[in-house]
Structures are given as structure tokens and as C-alpha cells.
Amino acid sequence: MSSLVQMDKAVISYLSLPDHLKAIVSDVIGNDATSKLSFLAEGLKDENTGKKTFTREMTPIGVGENGILKHLRLLKEKIMQIGCLLLQFNSLIDGMRSIN
């Protein structure tokens, strides 16, 4: 089991959609490009719009600091660490070349 998923902490989550999003779900499932873009655009709007399409308003867990954003922040930190290691490795290789 992946360490990113802690099944012992998982809870059943129910999705509730505003009527205008419910109306296009079948088109999204049917792979209609315009419907997919509209659905994503609406679903990713900020809470301050008042449209009730902010992810946290549609699901109990949303994508807040305890969700996807936390994992993205950790991933960004790991990528930065890898970048620093690659720079150090390049410096080491350059140093070895100058010896030869």
C-alpha cells in the first residue's frame, strides 16, 4: 500500500454539486471537451466567488492545506532538494574533469 494513502484515516466523502454543475455531469462523463473545461473551471473557483463551487464547499476534505496542497508543497521541496543535489554532482564532475 502506498504511503501517500493512509486508509485507516480515510472516511467516506460525498460530493454535492450545485444544479448548474449537476446538469453537465453526463456531458463530462461523455468526454465533451467544452463541458469538461466548464466543469473544471467552475469546480476550481475560489470560495470568495460565492458560487458554492469551491472544492471545500462540495466535499468535506476539499483540497486545503491538509489535502493536495500539502502534498504539492512536499513534492516541491523534494524537487528543490534534488535540484541542489544535481548541482553538487555537476560541480563534482567538473572538478574531476579539471584533474584529468
Contact 4, 78 (CB under 8 A): no
What digits encode the pLDDT tens for the residues 28-86? 899 888 888 888 777 776 666 666 666 666 665 554 445 566 667 778 888 888 888 88
Q: Both ends of the chain: CA-CA distance in Å?
A: 48
Burial class for 46, CB neighbours closer than 10 Å (0-12, 13-18, 19+): exposed
Q: State the Cα–Cα distance between residues 39 and 30, nearest whole angstrom.
A: 13
Does pLDDT of 9 surpass 50?
yes
The answer to whether the pTM exceeds 0.85 is no
Q: State the Cα–Cα distance between residues 81 and 87, nearest whole angstrom.
A: 10
Give the pLDDT of residue 1: 46
Q: Say which residue, 99 or 5, is predicted with more confidence.
A: 99
Amino acid symbol at 71: H
